[in-house]
Structure formats: C-alpha cells, structure tokens
C-alpha cells in the first residue's frame, strides 16, 4: 500500500454507483488489494499519451478530463464523480489517451491497479456489464453537454455545472476559482464572473475567495437549462436499474 493511502472499508463501496453492485468476490478483491486515497486539487490521475496503470473510483471527489491545445490552453471535456470510474481507455482496449485527467474537487477515491481491473473484468461478467452501462451513460451525457455548450447561456451552463458537481460531493461548499470554472465551461473569466455574480444576487449561491456555497438548490435547478436533468437521468436510468436489483443483497452483506 502506497504512502498516504488507507485500507478500503467494505461499506465504502456503497458510495460509488458501480462498486455498490459488484459481486461478493469482486468486492473482496477490491477491499483486499485496493487503496483509499484523499485526492488533492489538481492531483494527477493520468497524463496524456502515458500508460494508465491505475483506476480510480471517486467517493466524494470529482475528476476532470481535460484536452490541451498547442498554445497551452485547456478545456474540460468530461467529469467523473461517484457515479463512475476513471479508466475509459482501459475498458475500451487502449492503454493511454490523448487527454489527461486530474482531481477537480478534492475528496476520497478508491484506487486499484490496472492489472486488477483487467482481471476483475474477465472474472466477473456482471462487473463488466456495470462498466459498459456506465460508459454508455457517459457517452450520452457528453452528447447532451456538447449541445448545451453550443446552445445555452453561460448563466444556464454555470448552474448546470454547479448542480452536477453538488451531486457528487458531500458538502454544499465547492472550492473553485473563477479561472478554474472558466476552463470547465470553455469561456473567459469575465463571462464566469458575470454568471457567478448573477447567481449570487439571485440568492442561489455565495461566492468568495475561491469558494462557492450552494444556498438555494431549487433556485439553481430553475436557473439551469434542461441539460442538467437530462444528464442526471442518464445515470439514474442506466445504473440504478442494475444497482437497485442488488440493494437487498448488499444490505445483507453488511449485516454480517
């Protein structure tokens, strides 16, 4: 076990939408061989064009997949929270990817080796099915968000991003600078500043010193475009249909 990591409690698997439904043998392997980490802001998950040798399952952290242009500018092309995992390239048969990934919102994640990940996929068809369902949901969400970024206002997109992040963490407070949020939304800092100020004046958030606090969740939902609800349903429909079927078994497991 690496420095700074902790053992994985079996009950913690419940807090990731994929891991909560894996077979007993798979859960035991993850608990035995996995690590629980506290991720820091901007902590590297994988680099572009480098071999991916670890897989992360967020618990209350949020990961950002980022594309970098030749001039050094960056834009977020995807996010990963407690609904999923970091290793899309490995699942699809690749060993690396053109994008890079780092921690966007600090928090905990379960980490396993790529070697164990591949072994579990071969040994447990149900695990592979959960992962495939997640990837399909993720692709559907990316399509919706691409349309959102083209058609909806920065005010609506900022509300949608904050709601999706709020769903993935255990706090109403999200540490976030305007520069970072601008990169996430693919816009300039001035546009983000105006959107954040508008949301704050409406009483939906409080923003100061790189910290956003969600004050009125329902108001923020009203301010968002329909894309938040569409994106949320992707994971509710495709993953909950599988996880709910296993809830009784999981509850019995944790009574032992």
Is the domain of 25 the same as that of 131? yes
Q: Is residue 230 part of a domain?
A: no
∠ CA 45-38-79 to the nearest 5 degrees?
45
The 3-state DSSP class for residue 59 equals coil
Q: What is the DSSP string of 66-106?
A: EEE-TTS-EEEEEEE-TT--S-HHHHTT-S--SSEEEEEE-
Is the domain of 157 the same as that of 141? no
Is the domain of 47 the same as that of 101? yes
Is the domain of 54 the same as that of 117? yes
Q: Is residue 250 part of a domain?
A: no
Domain extent, residue 50, equals 10-147
Is the domain of 100 the same as that of 131? yes
Is the domain of 80 the same as that of 101? yes
In the chain, how many domains are there? 2
Is the domain of 75 the same as that of 116? yes
Is the domain of 83 the same as that of 53? yes
> Mind listing the pLDDT tens digit of every residue in the chain (256 residues)?
666 789 999 999 999 999 999 999 999 999 999 999 999 988 999 999 999 999 999 999 999 999 888 888 888 888 999 999 998 999 999 999 999 999 989 999 999 999 999 999 999 999 999 999 999 988 888 888 888 888 999 899 999 989 999 988 888 999 887 777 877 777 777 888 888 889 999 999 998 878 999 999 999 999 999 988 888 887 775 544 444 444 444 445 445 4
Q: Is residue 23 part of a domain?
A: yes
- Which phi and psi (to 5°) does residue 74 adopt? -125, 150
From residue 177, give the alpha-carbon distance in Å to each of 40, 114, 148, 196: 15, 33, 22, 11
């Amino acid at each position: 076990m690496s420095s700074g990591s902790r053992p994985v409690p079996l009950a913690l698997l419940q807090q990731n939408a994929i891991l909560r439904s894996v077979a007993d043998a798979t859960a035991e392997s993850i608990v035995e061989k996995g690590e629980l980490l506290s991720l820091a802001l901007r902590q590297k998950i994988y680099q572009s064009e480098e071999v991916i040798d670890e897989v992360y399952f967020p618990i209350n952290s949020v990961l950002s997949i980022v594309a970098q242009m030749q001039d050094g500018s960056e834009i977020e092309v995807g996010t990963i929270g407690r609904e999923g995992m970091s290793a899309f390239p490995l699942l699809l048969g690749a060993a690396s990817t053109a994008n890079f990934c780092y921690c966007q919102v600090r928090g905990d994640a379960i980490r396993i080796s790529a070697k164990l990940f591949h072994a579990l996929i071969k040994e447990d068809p149900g695990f592979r099915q959960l992962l495939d369902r997640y990837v399909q949901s993720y692709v559907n969400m990316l399509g919706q968000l691409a349309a959102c970024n083209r058609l909806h206002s920065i005010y609506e997109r900022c509300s949608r991003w904050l709601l999706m992040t709020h769903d993935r963490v255990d706090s109403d407070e999200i540490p976030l600078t305007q520069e970072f949020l601008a990169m996430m939304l693919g816009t300039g800092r001035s546009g983000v500043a105006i959107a954040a100020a508008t949301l704050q004046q409406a009483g939906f958030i409080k923003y100061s010193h790189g910290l956003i606090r969600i004050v009125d969740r329902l108001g923020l939902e009203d301010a968002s475009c329909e894309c938040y609800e569409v994106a949320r349903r992707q994971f509710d429909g495709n993953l909950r249909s599988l996880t709910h079927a296993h809830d009784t078994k999981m509850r019995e497991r944790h009574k032992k």
